[in-house]
Structure 1
């Protein structure tokens, strides 16, 4: 029996476990299906090139989507981190919060307490920014955020190319203005004994406190279902090796398995669309039709170029020599190009000047990244990605079967809303103009997949090659309306003692990368839970004192 049982040790679960266990009077149990997330591939930043395609299989769920009608019937790839740290183990480490208006829209949709003014303090609390503290940034938090002072020179060509096309430079995408082109900040240790290593959520929050007596972390624990009795979540059933186990929760179960697996676990527990559960023989505990609905993701289209310049990541004799040198430099000094995010610079741009905020994002990569690094090319080169920041398409997550070990059915329904194709086409045109700018003349080689010049040719190229850039959200939407899965305190409606805390609760996808927002959300909810517990104890103490006083006078 524990006070709190947390399902999933990813970006949200790591924060919750660390923050809740700061109170020595409560007990916390964290269940994680993967490992500890502290091996060499989890610490070397550039090892993401092996983690994302799934070469390190133990650290990646390696999901696939169902065939996508909008992408010529192709199955998309959905890499998700497996282990303490979750997808922060394998991501590009980019520290991006999104646009302030995104959070104000959440509040306008009925998510009270989630406006920009409400969430900014929790972003700052989580952050240890190398640039120091100011009105928008924090210092002293667990998550170290650094400048990329190791970037390749070609990034300056990208910034110059953006400038040549009329786009302003921006040295802080989390500053007063998001729009413009610049070098991303990264979640990487810049201070202390881990300097130069990836600052995953687990490395930032969890690894150093796992010896707390009131915190139990169980890895390799594959959750089967949440146990519900008389409308209350009382525990969790999970598989450890070949053994079925249960753990009890005295106060709350906190579900933090991510936008793809949180709805999966709810449905396995009998919470979700009744007709779908019944068709799989799962007893319905609570009908919540919106569980697994509202899936949103950033669809991404890439331009890839070979280059005569060899000062980039690549394949070949020279590239291997450079890699060995960089590996030794990182091993001995925690410096060098293995600190790279690969996506070193980028831009937030508007496809229409009249828009109130950027609607596309560019990631510029110092390598030929093709099909999630699953398709390799000899030589050196670079690539640029463009994604639609606020897609209109909505998809679903459903169960393939009642077997907890089966992967979920993931259907992002990419391009099901024609407005997304229109925006992505405009963004791809803007990206092509930037890549054709004179600033790239000395670097530019043949393009691997030229798309042609007409709209029809570009649309065909998008449908043939576009895929996720790893930001699924929305499948356990929060709100104040009757259909919302969780309320603004992230309590699941209809079940006592159960919250969902991860990207699945976002009502709308934010305009940027999602790791920093998830960490912020977990910080905010952990503080709320602790505040509620203090208030409960104060009420009980007051009631006890009043009762005692009454007995005395009687």
Structure 2
């Protein structure tokens, strides 16, 4: 197995529990089972670590380049994200129209992933990943102000804004306990670390697969500047939206679709400042960064909601983010021997319509902000209609860190993998991560990646086939 992130830890756990022998290759460090050995910035859910990072850069629009953080550590991006435990809407999964991927077929698997405290029937109940809902008492001041402003602006309150299909505003579920970020290594790997069939190879970067005809015989890795060949009968790639296509490319498993179809949720950010007399917590560097979200409609799609509008607090700064959750924009990465060239191509071709959706979202955010006391936007354009115009949106664009789609799954010959995750042109190579998503859903992708891992771990038990 290649990659120990959100999906990889799930796949490894499932296979070891079913009696397979698994060698789990991870480029980043492994700090062992949960303990004080883990760096505080990874464990503390109030922080976002940037130390364990691949150092990627991405071009969002032409000439607009930004850092593209991707974790290089056991647990992957689940070890440094905002702990948002958000399941994709069922209708989005059904929209893929792929055999074996209807929501009716895969939804029972959420109970093998999540163990939610309370909540609706849309939450998992018996999995190793513990989640909980933010309560009114646990919300930071900035988050509470936003909810109050959204309700005053006419949006309905939601008990769980991380499940179901209803628009409205409320807290989401989070994978944490007592302030500790529960990454997938803690939840899925710790219980199986000592099993005889589990071998973890940390600080070992997979470079390519050694192919003999249409069969992989080894993965060639770099460990402490030494080349190492690891042989196996089957290879499951969970290297992520950027790592998986790069590995296939270096292995000679290239196709026209490889690296294409890149999607993320485009958005904009508006900065606020606390006014004189506001609570000191609005200037705190130790508040939870993200706890609530407003799901609203841009009016540009047929969905009941297609926007995420959310308050965010980091390093003493206050923000409101607006993200369009049903983007048409598609980009690509160009794999190569070094770092990939990542281009999202927001607002190009069909993606031009995404500008109108974000403009509508900014107008909704402005209406909510106008009903929030104690704070003021620092960008005067936001308080006027200027912020809904394409030029302002283009100059302030950001992304949601939900990259998907570079190894598209499908039934057509142009897809990179089939609905079982098997790479076309290789009889014993499978991909099980967010890179195979054919169309990005209206949700954060952490739980989605775990669901993909759980779904395809079962398929990997079957004999190889062409």
The question of a shared fold, defined as TM-score above 0.5 by the shorter chain, is answered with yes
- Conserved? CA contact 1:123–1:517, under 8 Å: no
1:358 partnered with 2:290: no
Which secondary structure does the structure 1 equivalent of 2:460 belong to? helix
Match of 1:168 in 2: 156
TM-aligned CA deviation for residue 62 of structure 1: 2.8
Distance in 1, Cα, partners of 2:364 & 2:387: 16
TM-aligned CA deviation for residue 419 of structure 1: 0.5
Match of 1:386 in 2: 322
Match of 1:310 in 2: 279
1:22 partnered with 2:8: no
Match of 1:232 in 2: 215
- The structure 2 residue matched to 1:11, chosen from 3, 6, 15, is 6
What is the alpha-carbon root mean square deviation over aligned residues? 2.2
Match of 1:300 in 2: 267
Distance 1:203 1:523, change over 3 A: same
Match of 1:122 in 2: 109
- The structure 2 residue matched to 1:65, chosen from 58, 71, 79, is 58
- Conserved? CA contact 1:296–1:395, under 8 Å: yes
Identify which range, 455-464 or 150-159, moves more after superposition: 455-464
Distance in 2, Cα, partners of 1:34 & 1:82: 5
Distance in 2, Cα, partners of 1:432 & 1:158: 11
Match of 2:347 in 1: 415
Distance in 2, Cα, partners of 1:519 & 1:240: 27
> 1:193-342 alignment to 2 at 5 Å?
195-250=178-233, 252-272=234-254, 288-308=255-275, 309-312=278-281, 314=283, 319=284, 323=286, 337=287, 340=288, 342=289
TM-aligned CA deviation for residue 529 of structure 1: 2.8
Match of 1:88 in 2: 78
Distance in 2, Cα, partners of 1:503 & 1:176: 21
- Conserved? CA contact 1:126–1:519, under 8 Å: yes
1:76 partnered with 2:74: no
Which secondary structure does the structure 1 equivalent of 2:295 belong to? strand
- Conserved? CA contact 1:303–1:449, under 8 Å: no
Distance in 2, Cα, partners of 1:125 & 1:484: 29
Distance in 1, Cα, partners of 2:330 & 2:209: 27
- List gaps (5 residues or longer) in structure 2: 32-37
Which secondary structure does the structure 2 equivalent of 1:225 belong to? strand
Distance in 2, Cα, partners of 1:446 & 1:15: 42
Give per-residue Cα distances to partners, 1:506-530, cap 9 Å, x unaligned. Answer: 0000101000111011111112334
Give per-residue Cα distances to partners, 1:433-452, cap 9 Å, x unaligned. Answer: 11112xx12x2135246346
Distance 1:429 1:474, change over 3 A: same
- Conserved? CA contact 2:86–2:162, under 8 Å: yes
Which secondary structure does the structure 1 equivalent of 2:95 belong to? helix
Distance in 1, Cα, partners of 2:162 & 2:311: 18
Distance in 1, Cα, partners of 2:449 & 2:39: 23
Distance in 1, Cα, partners of 2:301 & 2:11: 40
Identify which range, 293-302 or 207-216, moves more after superposition: 207-216
TM-aligned CA deviation for residue 490 of structure 1: 0.6
- Conserved? CA contact 1:68–1:76, under 8 Å: no
Distance in 2, Cα, partners of 1:214 & 1:495: 25
Distance 1:212 1:171, change over 3 A: same
- List gaps (5 residues or longer) in structure 1: 1-5, 190-194, 273-287, 324-336, 370-375, 537-554
Give per-residue Cα distances to partners, 1:1-31, cap 9 Å, x unaligned. Answer: xxxxx1111001111111111133x210011
Match of 1:541 in 2: none
Distance 1:266 1:233, change over 3 A: same
Give per-residue Cα distances to partners, 1:213-262, cap 9 Å, x unaligned. Answer: 11111111111101211201222000001100010111x10011111111
Distance in 1, Cα, partners of 2:13 & 2:46: 26
Give per-residue Cα distances to partners, 1:418-437, cap 9 Å, x unaligned. Answer: 11111111111111111112
- The structure 2 residue matched to 1:31, chosen from 3, 12, 25, is 25
Match of 1:542 in 2: none
TM-aligned CA deviation for residue 174 of structure 1: 4.2
- Conserved? CA contact 2:111–2:126, under 8 Å: no
Give per-residue Cα distances to partners, 1:189-224, cap 9 Å, x unaligned. Answer: 3xxxxx431111111111332222111111111111
Match of 1:145 in 2: 131
Which secondary structure does the structure 1 equivalent of 2:394 belong to? helix
Distance 1:29 1:354, change over 3 A: closer
Give per-residue Cα distances to partners, 1:492-549, cap 9 Å, x unaligned. Answer: 112100011100000000101000111011111112334x36x99xxxxxxxxxxxxx
> 1:46-57 alignment to 2 at 5 Å?
46-48=46-48, 51=49, 54=50, 56=51
Which secondary structure does the structure 2 equivalent of 1:112 belong to? coil
Larger radius of gyration: 1
- Conserved? CA contact 2:161–2:293, under 8 Å: no
Higher helix share: 1
> 1:442-453 alignment to 2 at 5 Å?
443-448=374-379, 450-451=381-382, 453=384
- Conserved? CA contact 1:42–1:89, under 8 Å: yes
Distance 1:452 1:152, change over 3 A: closer
Distance 1:68 1:120, change over 3 A: same
- The structure 2 residue matched to 1:185, chosen from 173, 182, 187, is 173
